[in-house]
Amino acid sequence: MEQQEFEKCIEQIRLGNKDGLRKIYEEYIGYIYSVVYGILGNKENAEDVTSDFFIRLWNSASTYQSGNAHRAWLSTIARNMSLDYIRKHRREMPLADELQDVSDSQNVEKDVVGEMSVMQALSMLNENERRIVDMKVLGEMTFQEIADLLKIPLGTVTWRYQNAIGKLRRCGYE
Amino acid sequence: MSKSFEENYRAEMMKEIPDLWDRIEAGIEQTTAEPVPAEKQPVQKQQKSGNVRKSNKWMKILAIASPALAACLFGLVMIPAALVFMVSGIGKDSAMSASDSATQAAGGEAMYEDAEAAYESAEMTDETGGTENRYVAEGNFSYKEETMAGAPAEDAAVQSESETEVSDLFGEVVQAEIIAVTGEEVTVRLEDSLAEQLMLRYEVYPLHDTVFVFALSEENTFVPEAGMYCGIVFEEAANTENGITVRLIENTEQNE
C-alpha cells in the first residue's frame, strides 16, 4: 500500500469510516499476524493480539503522524503490543529455557537432508531455536531484543540462531 | 538467514492467516459505544500554556488558603528554595531576600505577593541554572499549595510535589505521581492508558523485569509534555496496579 493511500485510510478512520480500517486490514493482516505470531509463538494469543491491534489502530489513528513510514509504524505498534502481552502474561507463558529440546533428540543428519517444505525444515528445530527464528524472521526483532525478552544471554541467542541456520541449510534452504 | 527461507516461511504463514474481521468489527463497535474517557482524548487538546496553568494555580491558592496557615507553609517552602539558589550560586541575593520576607510575613495578601515574586524570581534564576534546580524549586512551591488545601503537612509534601511537578512536566494531561527527581531524570508513574499513548507516540515499549529499556525509533525525542528532549524509559519493575513508571531522561545537549 502506498503511503498516500494509507494516509487516506487513516483519515477515513479518523472520520469514523470503517472502510479505511478494512483496507488496512486486508493489506496488512498477514504482515501483522506474522510479526505478532513470531513474537508470541502461539496462534491463539497471536489472534487475540492481532485483533486488538486493529481495534487499537481504530482508536488511536490520531496519533499517526503524516509522512511516517507507515509499515514501520504498524510493525512497531504490533511489536509493542506483543511484548506487552508477554509482559502481562509472563507467568502463563514458558520461557525459552523452559521449553524442551525435543527435536535435539531427533538429531538432524549432518549431511544435507535434501529439499523439504519450510514447515518440515522448521520441524527439525527444537523449540528454543524455533522461537528465536520466529522472533528474528517474523517478529523482526534484533538479537539483543530477543535476549532481553527471553532473559538469556545474547551469546546464547546468536548461538541457537546459528544452529538453526545450520539445520535449515542442511534442509536445502540457502 | 537465507532469503529463500524467509520468503518461503512468510509465504507459508500467509496461508494460515485467520479471518479476524468480525471480531475486530465487534471490538470497534464496543469501543465506539463506550464514551471516550477524558484521559484518552488527544494529548494536544488537553495541553494548556504554562502561564494559564500557573495563574490557575495561584488563583486556586488565593481562593482556598487561609492566611495564617499560608504563613507557616510559606516558610517551609521558601527555605529549601533559598538553599537551592545558594547552592546554584545564581540569584542568591533574591532567594535570600525572598526567604527572609517569607519568614517575617505574618499573613495576608502581602505575603502572597511576596511569594509570587519570589517564585517568579526563582523560576528566572533557574532558567539559567539548569533543569534540576527548576524541578526542585517548583516542587517546593507545590508543597505549599497542597498543604494549604488542608492536608497534613508531611503527607501533603509528598503528594503535592508529585502532582504539581507532573503538572509542570506534562501540562494537565498526565495526572500521575512523580516517583523521584534525580539529576536529569524525572520518574513518573502513569496510568496504563497514558503509558500506552506515550508508547504509541514515541515508539517506546516496556520489557518485562528490565530496568533498562529503550526508545525504539530514537533515543532522544522531543516530548512536548515535558517541554524538552528526553529519552523515555519504562521501568517495568515499577509496573503496578497504578500504572507503569516512566523515566524521562533529559538530553541536555539537545536542549541546549
Residue A27 makes CB contacts below 8 A (sequence gap 6+) with A1
End-to-end Cα separation, chain A, in angstroms: 29
Instruction: Give the helix ranges, DSSP H, for B34-89.
Output: 43-46, 50-64, 67-88
All three cell numbers of A42: 502461539
Q: What mean pLDDT is predicted for residues B182-191?
A: 60
CA A134 to chain B, closest CA, distance in angstroms equals 9
| pLDDT band with cut points at 50, 70 and 90 for residue B157 | very low
- Cα dihedral A129→A54→A28→A138 (10° resolution): -10
Best mutation target, B40, B200, B209, B212, to test chain A (most A CBs within 10 A): B200
DSSP state of A78: H
- Higher per-residue confidence, B34 vs B239: B34
Say yes or no: B242 contacts chain A, CB-CB below 8 A: no
Chain B residues 118-147 within an 8 A CB cutoff of chain A: none
| pLDDT band with cut points at 50, 70 and 90 for residue B248 | low
The predicted structure's pLDDT at residue B98: 45
Is residue A24 scored above 70 in pLDDT? Answer: yes
In this complex, do B207 and A87 lie within 8 Å of one another by their Cβ atoms? yes
Best mutation target, B4, B6, B13, to test chain A (most A CBs within 10 A): B13
Best mutation target, A137, A143, A144, to test chain B (most B CBs within 10 A): A137
Task: List the Cα angle B106/B109/B115 in 5-degree steps.
Answer: 80
The position carrying cell 521501568 is: B235
Specify the length of chain B in residues.
256
pTM of the model: 0.43
| pLDDT band with cut points at 50, 70 and 90 for residue A58 | confident
Which residues of chain A make contact with B206, given a CB cutoff of 8 A? 83-84, 87
Is residue A119 scored above 60 in pLDDT? Answer: yes
In this complex, do B207 and A168 lie within 8 Å of one another by their Cβ atoms? no
Is residue A163 scored above 70 in pLDDT? Answer: yes
Task: Name the residue in chain A with its Cα closest to that of B32.
Answer: A59
- Kindly report the average pLDDT of chain B as a whole number: 53
In this complex, do A76 and B208 lie within 8 Å of one another by their Cβ atoms? no
The predicted structure's pLDDT at residue B164: 34
Whether B235 contacts B213, CB under 8 Å: yes
Interface pTM (ipTM) of the complex? 0.71
Whether A129 contacts A161, CB under 8 Å: yes
Q: Helix and strand tally (H, E) in chain A?
A: 8, 0
For the stretch B91-139, pLDDT in tens is 444 444 444 444 444 444 444 444 444 444 444 434 433 333 333 323 2
Residue A171's SS3 state is coil
All three cell numbers of B59: 488563583
